[in-house]
Structure 1
């Protein structure tokens, strides 16, 4: 038997928003996992490679901050990317205690290929929104996260 309780307009609206956001995120994650799987990458590995591709060499703490990751997860991601020969650690010249992470030539080649294809996947995911709707959605999500 279905529960048709009335939680009030505000609560009902909030519940529907949670469902819509969750379904969208699940759909997006499935698309991304499938896409990155074609390159034997996880979403987190792509995040590290993409960040290094666009920002250059970074310390681990900077990578954690830029990719919204945790230190435990980042350790595993870095270790696996190193094993694959896609990134390497360097001692920072001005602070010999700090390591920086950078792309190898193979890592640079791979992320360029993946990133270019990634743009097409994103275009397909957002196909139902026009440019004004995309900008509005971005603005609303930033506001929801307290960034506006």
Structure 2
């Protein structure tokens, strides 16, 4: 045990505190996984953000521009930049909303769909390789435990 004193209060910290250890392990694991995923995406000619937008449109269909940022955790200004860039490469198109002239949707183009049809299976295989240290049962346990943790944190 380590004793830390600050002003008039004393805080007792265990060297092997499991909450702190879990936080550190989760953080390091996430960082390594994301480095490997980013390497994989870049080897396919895209950056992580471009891929995230295309993957969202590929799997979820047309999306309102203002909602894309919420779904992939990016600021709205960044989304405009990314969409402009992907539109120049002809991977997506903007589609006016028929019900609201103030709204615009992003839609994956045929060229964007062809790109993801080509690269997604290999990307998925790479993710399989990264997770291969865990058995299928261990992956299911990890999913359930992390979901439980994530849902409980939303209540705070």
Same fold (TM over 0.5): yes
Structure 1 residue ranges, 4+ long, deviating more than 4 angstroms after superposition: none
Q: Tell me the matched-pair count.
A: 144
> Paired residue for 1:92, among 93, 97, 102?
97
Moved more, 79-88 or 64-73: 64-73
CA drift of 1:131 comes to 1.4
**Residues 88-119 of structure 1: CA distance to partner in whole angstroms, max 9, x if unpaired?**
11111222221110111111111111211111
CA distance in 1, matches of 2:26, 2:73: 19
2:147 equivalent in structure 1:
142
Aligned Cα root-mean-square deviation (Å): 2.0
**Where do 1:97-116 residues align within 5 Å?**
97-116=102-121
Question: Could you tell me how far 1:132 is from its partner in structure 2?
Answer: 1.4
Counterpart among 1, 5, 20 of residue 2 in structure 2: 5
Larger radius of gyration: 2
Q: Structure 1 residue aligned with 2:136, among 124, 131, 144?
A: 131
| Alignment partner of 1:34 is 2:47 | no
**Aligned equivalent of 1:23:** 28
Give unmatched runs, 5+ long, in structure 1: none
Scaled by the length of structure 2, the TM-score of the pair is: 0.83
Cα distance in 2 for residues equivalent to 1:123 and 1:25: 15
Distance, in Å, in 2 between the alignment partners of 1:74 and 1:138 is 29
Q: TM-score, normalised by structure 1?
A: 0.87
Q: CA deviation at 1:59?
A: 0.5
Unmatched 5+ stretches in structure 2: 4-12
